[in-house]
Chains A and B, each alone.
Chain A
Amino acid sequence: MAAAHEVLIRVQDVSLHAGGRELQHGLTFDVLAGEVLAIVGASGCGKSTLLRHMIGLQKPQTGRVTWTAGGKERDVHGDDPPRREIGVAFQAGALWSSMTVGENLMLPLELYTEMPEAQREQQARYKLALAGLSDPATFDAEPAALSGGMRKRAAIARALVLDPPLLCLDEPSAGLDPLTSARLDDLILRLKRDIGTGIVLVTHELESLFAVADRMLFLDVEAHTATALGPPKELREHGPEPVREFLTRGQRQQEGEEQQDKVPA
């Protein structure tokens, strides 16, 4: 596991494009071991696209993304990308539909470890339980038989299965019930605190953001670049105007919805 506060991944002057249009430019930041960095911004600002660049799925037109942990710099888009070191949970889960949930978790172990099958199964069952899926039947279920929330948790379990130093989660709590969402926040905090995992989180949920994120990167949809990087609570009070508005108005709206929910029918 990487040493505390060691830089895991370094994003340098990266620009994001979609459909011939520049979404963001000049993005420069580091992700440290043992921190939760949230990528925040309005819809269409390029949050998920940035994540795809960080995990090597898309190559930036300018700038570079480098894996720096372990004393050796490795280009995420180069010949020796840090595959094993980055666990990814996609927005829709992206469990492989031709395999059972258990096989989904065991494939990364089969590819990257020498574990015997019994141990692989044990690991997979343990990681499912860690993500809140302790029912033994889930292990043998087809992904299509699971609910949306269960698929999402199974995807997080799969991202965790190799104990990667960096975990990338694309909107993990979207579509989950509040209880599961809170459990997920707990899981993120424990992974960070107890294991020292670095976590990059793309999120819209402000409650979750304030609960778990150490720092947030705000992608401004109008300015087409990151206009703030820092602790969310600090940015809510002293950040630039669009960030304060995003964080305070969004939170008021969420609180308003909660108040409405409390009104008896």
Chain B
Amino acid sequence: MSHALPAPLTPPADAGKGHATAAHARWEGEGQKWRLVLSGDWQEGQVPAPPPGLQVAEGTQLGFDATALSHWQPPLAAALWQALAPLARGGVTLDLSGLPKALQPLLELSLPQPEAAQKKKPQEEDEPRPDPEWRKTLVFVGDMLGALGRLARGKSAMRLSDWLWQIEQTGPRSLPIVLLVSTLVALIVAYMGAEQLKRFGAQSFIAYLVTIGVVREISALVVGIVLAGRVGAAFAAQIGSMRAGEEIDALTTLGVDPVEHLVLPRMLALAITGPLLTLCAGIAGLAVGCGVAVALYDVPALAYLQTTRDALEAGDLAIGLFKGSVYAMLVALAGCRQGLNAGRSAQAVGEATTAAVVQAIVWMVVAASTLTVIFQRLGW
């Protein structure tokens, strides 16, 4: 769009030569009276910043001279707005009548109104620094322990139906994927271990490798990772969207602690399903180990089972189940914490979900290595 102007009083020197003159803007004036002179064919370009002599204060007047402006394009409005808005906010009186007629209403609408500029400006304050992540986590764990204490005293707002529903969602519904992953991982462990042992003719020891590896470490880790992806993400998304939809505010106004009502049933559900899933994953892993040894490495089934019985100690089983419970708790903690601290938009819920999964897996790996070192040191 191009706006033809009335014939300029002083035609550009090169008018009629077939090419446009370059756009130009300059500030003229002194003291409290200033004007901005625009000239040429304004296709694009910027208006220079006001000179230091122009005092941005009430009383200063600014006019415009566009008589030498042959044509202009919409970018001129944005360029003028950028230069003039700080002046208008500072109280400078702008007389737009010297500008092209089509440009005046655009600037009138976009520039701050003089009376608004003179009103009290809002007090800009430093944004309160958000709590660091570790602090949020500590506060959350404290709230959780408080809620557990109230539950123990029989004063909790947790509903039994919510707890049972969460057990169903996190346990039986996670079982197929836990079994699938644990069988495949146990298959890899058995196969690779057997290949190495075969070199020494020690295939019959596959049972030791598989039993201790699967029961003590692998089944718990598999359960933890599956739960992080399947359940931790769901917790963060559910609680995060409840927060975005003001459901958590509605609970708070009623005096219901969101931690008791939303977090406790999820946490306690995983406290039940975590070790049970670990047990199932362990059994599936042992069965696959047996299958690999018997079918591929000619280990007699009875001998394998006998070795497994010798290898399997109550301590290993207890450590495996303990680790499974710890990982499940970490998944619940990361999911619920991220959900409760999510922002109030759809994007924030998505970010909370991603953060819940990543955080759960990182915490789990840290916990796994810490626990392994501790148990080894203790000789367990």
Task: Give chain A's interface residues, CB within 8 Å of chain B.
Answer: 17, 19-23, 25, 52, 55-57, 81, 83-84, 86, 88, 90-98, 107-108, 111, 158, 222-224
Contacts and interface: CB of A to CB of B under 8 A. Distances in A.
A57 B249 contact: yes
30 contacts: A19-B127, A21-B122, A21-B124, A22-B122, A22-B123, A22-B125, A23-B122, A55-B253, A57-B249, A81-B255, A83-B253, A83-B254, A83-B255, A86-B253, A94-B245, A94-B246, A94-B247, A94-B249, A95-B247, A95-B250, A96-B242, A96-B247, A96-B251, A97-B241, A97-B242, A111-B157, A111-B254, A111-B256, A223-B119, A224-B120
B345 interface: no
Contact of B125 (A21, A55, A96, A111): A21
Interface of B: 116, 119-120, 122-128, 157, 162, 165, 241-242, 245-247, 249-256
B255 A111 contact: yes
B250 A88 contact: yes
B266 to A, nearest CB: 11
A25 B252 CA distance: 25
A19 B128 CA distance: 8
A92 B253 contact: no
Contact of B128 (A20, A86, A107, A223): A20
Given A92-B246, A94-B247, A224 B122 contact: yes
A74 B246 CA distance: 25
B157 to A, nearest CB: 7
A57 B245 contact: no
Contacts of B157: 111
Contacts of B122: 21-23, 224
Given A21-B122, A22-B122, A222-B119, A90 B255 contact: no
Contacts of A23: 122
A115 to B, nearest CB: 16
B125 A17 contact: yes
Nearest to B262: A98
Contacts of B249: 52, 57, 90, 94
Contacts of B252: 56-57
A121 to B, nearest CB: 16
B348 to A, nearest CB: 15
Contacts of A108: 254
A107 B254 contact: yes
Contact of A97 (B123, B247, B256): B247
Given A91-B246, A97-B242, A20 B255 contact: no
